[in-house]
Structure 1
Amino acid sequence: MNFKKLGLGLVAGVMLWSNSGAVLAQESVVLGGNFELSGQYAAYGTPMREGFDLAIKHMNENGGLLDGLTVEAVVYDNTSDMTESAAVTTRLANEGVVGVVGPATTGDVLAQVPVLQENQLPGVVPAATGDGLTLDDNGELLEYLFRVCFEDSYQGYVGANYMFDTLGVTRVAVVSDQTLDYSVGLRDAFVAQFTALGGTVVTEETLTTGDTDFSAALTNLLTQDVEALYVPVYYTEAGLFIKQAREFGLDLPVMGADGYHNDTLVELAGDANATDVYYTSHFSLLSENEKTVEFVAAFEEEYGKQPDTFSALAYDATLLLMNAIDTAGSTDRDAVRDAISATTDFEGVTGTFSMDENNNPVKSVVVLGLENGVETSVVEVAPE
């Protein structure tokens, strides 16, 4: 694969200082990975690790960084735990990595933020879509935190437009997880836009992460005059909910967000039940974009399976970090941070984007449709 590397021009002989004060030749560029490789969110973190590793492999095959330096990776498992996420990033910072890719979830990302800021360590987040993630409690920019995914509010906004304009739904029921910021943020944005369009939210039900029996909510939904369900939760609860909804006879369109984009959803729901299901996401196997097609083929060759949105986003996050190192012409963390901030027209496998003033990408959303568990439709929605 041929990747354009920008801003080359560092003179040969990159140097580092050892703890003893001696000058050493830098033989590699080391990147850190903080991923959920076990625990509740391993189905997100594991494909991210695969995308991270593949991006580094491709960069090394194309000559490495900074006039030929090999890229190396140090990866630790945060076990889907916020305390461990902070500990992992502390360990990576102490081991001298240039930047960190990951973790997956908003909670785990927020846990590492103080470590990134204290150590002036750039962190590129693949898939944590929580609103305002890159800002502190006072609305000030967290200057070392970046991401390659759009925010939840934009997903909810696009989802409402798609349901109202494309599916022709005017009466909807919303089912959300009150304990999950991700779900609440999506719900609020969807409801605001859907009602602004003239739609009616007939009823709202709730569930909690870890629930496996949704019969009470489904019994109530059976009595409501609704045309579709908006269920912005993660893939485990979504898969079980869709399965039980179909068993209850609720053969209505179900829509969610990028938390659906995992094969486990279809496995839990069952192929036949995963029909008339739609979700907003970052990446589609149906894309005809040349870079995306090349990535899918390379991923299948490397791992013997198709990539998902999380592996694709991690691939882009890793390339963004590596290209910033080349653009900066240095492994200096502040220089790399500045290069990421200044990124424009970055051509990734999840789309072309530029970084905005809040360290978020300006990029398109894709709305994917499933029939019998298979992705059969994709609609790209450009940013406004």
Structure 2
Amino acid sequence: ALDDQSNTELTIRQVKELIDRKVVAILAAPTGASTFAPIHLVNESRTLFISIGSRRHLKASGDFVLRHALPDDLATAGLMQEVKAKRGWTRFALVTSANDDFSLDLSALFRRAVIKQEGAVVLQADTYDTLTGSRNFAPVVAALKRSPERLDAVIFTGGAGEALALLQTLRQAGIALPLIGGEELHAPEFLAGGDVVEGTWLYAGYAADRKSPAMEAFREAMGKPDSDRFAALAYDTLTMLAEAIRACGSTQADKLREALLARTDFEGATGSLRFSPDNQPIKRPLVLRIEKTAGGERGFVE
């Protein structure tokens, strides 16, 4: 294992070293430098390169570059389909945190997912005040209160801490709309928010308490019950790669890629996985709600 320290030059040097050592494949952590800096090197050397947790699209990155993490376009589509089917919600406020590039990207994906379900984004708001350069929930509250049309829920694309603060502000203002968000909300700090977070809907690519044979094998391999999603993604990637080597009887990158793309029944700790012809992961999100369990504790429930 090598630590690139999120440094582009160091990443390039390390990848060159691994290529010179003729490694079978390189598994990269979910940082920009380790995912994108060495793409030309691995393609030129025909070295299989798999990004463990990058959320960013790697399309047109070359035949030998794949990623494993749940794509947010599939995740938002799956979540909004479930929300419509289970709750009948179709009319939303979309709230973005504009100083966060990921929030901007995620808002665009949620908008697309809403339209796909024949819903409507009735209003848009932003928690970032460009004049002061700071967070300001007042315009969001005002926009929600003056909405001329019915709203079913608020979609928020920022992080867990800001989502909790937003919900607290909305409840104090007498706004009881439920919240819908992304994987950032699948966090202990958000769950600890108390009554205000109950009823929230979100998606995730991994749940540590999920029960399946693959999860049991993962827990046993890790020696602990609460490993995070990046550990699970790495475990699944390495497992799938090892099985591909056995299936094709080779460690050549082109044959391994063919074996990975041909696999359609892989089930891992992070769920099912297969790849499209252009190396993109095809996965189903976990759609979760925050509810009180039978024991009275609040938790993420499928």
Q: 1:231 to 1:148 in 2, by over 3 A?
A: same
In structure 2, the residue matched to 1:215 is: 137
After superposition, what is the alpha-carbon deviation per residue over 1:3-53, rounded to whole angstroms, capped at 9, x for unaligned? xxxxxxxxxxxxxxxxxxxxxxxxxxxxxxxxxxxxxxxxxxxxxxxxxxx
1:230 aligns with 2:155: yes
Q: 1:89 to 1:377 in 2, by over 3 A?
A: same
Q: Tell me, which stretches of 5 or more residues in structure 2 are unaligned?
A: none
**For 2:2, which of 75, 91, 115 is the aligned residue?**
75
CA contact (8 A) 1:126 1:149 kept: yes
In structure 2, the residue matched to 1:173 is: 93
Give the secondary-structure state (helix, strand or coil) at the position aligned to 2:214.
helix
CA contact (8 A) 1:155 1:186 kept: no
Q: 1:214 to 1:108 in 2, by over 3 A?
A: farther
| Amino acid in the other structure paired with 1:162 | E
Give the secondary-structure state (helix, strand or coil) at the position aligned to 2:89.
coil
Query: Aligned-residue CA RMSD in angstroms?
Result: 3.2
Q: Tell me, which stretches of 5 or more residues in structure 1 are unaligned?
A: 1-73, 137-141, 379-384
1:377 aligns with 2:297: no
Of stretches 235-244 and 161-170 in structure 1, the one that deviates more from structure 2 is 235-244
**For 1:289, which of 194, 212, 228 is the aligned residue?**
212
In structure 1, the residue matched to 2:124 is: 204
**For 2:268, which of 348, 369, 378 is the aligned residue?**
348
| Deviation for aligned residue 1:332 | 3.6
After superposition, what is the alpha-carbon deviation per residue over 1:80-135, rounded to whole angstroms, capped at 9, x for unaligned? x666555554454345432222321567523342332233221222332334x232
Q: 1:109 to 1:290 in 2, by over 3 A?
A: same
| Amino acid in the other structure paired with 1:233 | G
Q: How is 1:21-40 mapped onto 2 (pairs within 5 angstroms)?
A: none
In structure 1, the residue matched to 2:202 is: 279
Give the secondary-structure state (helix, strand or coil) at the position aligned to 1:283.
coil
1:361 aligns with 2:302: no
Give the secondary-structure state (helix, strand or coil) at the position aligned to 1:115.
helix
1:191 aligns with 2:191: no
CA contact (8 A) 2:261 2:279 kept: yes
Q: How is 1:90-169 mapped onto 2 (pairs within 5 angstroms)?
A: 90-105=16-31, 109-131=35-57, 133-136=58-61, 142-169=62-89
**For 2:233, which of 290, 307, 313 is the aligned residue?**
313
Q: 1:172 to 1:355 in 2, by over 3 A?
A: same
| Amino acid in the other structure paired with 2:95 | V
Q: 1:284 to 1:219 in 2, by over 3 A?
A: same
In structure 2, the residue matched to 1:70 is: none
In structure 2, the residue matched to 1:256 is: 181
| Amino acid in the other structure paired with 2:187 | N
CA contact (8 A) 1:172 1:229 kept: yes
After superposition, what is the alpha-carbon deviation per residue over 1:62-93, rounded to whole angstroms, capped at 9, x for unaligned? xxxxxxxxxxxx231434x6665555544543
CA contact (8 A) 2:289 2:300 kept: yes
| Amino acid in the other structure paired with 1:220 | A
| Deviation for aligned residue 1:278 | 1.7
User: Percent identity, aligned pairs only?
Assistant: 23
Paired with 2:142 and 2:12, the residues of 1 have a C-alpha distance of: 42
| Amino acid in the other structure paired with 1:146 | L
CA contact (8 A) 2:64 2:253 kept: no
Give the secondary-structure state (helix, strand or coil) at the position aligned to 2:39.
helix
TM-score by length of 1: 0.64
In structure 2, the residue matched to 1:28 is: none
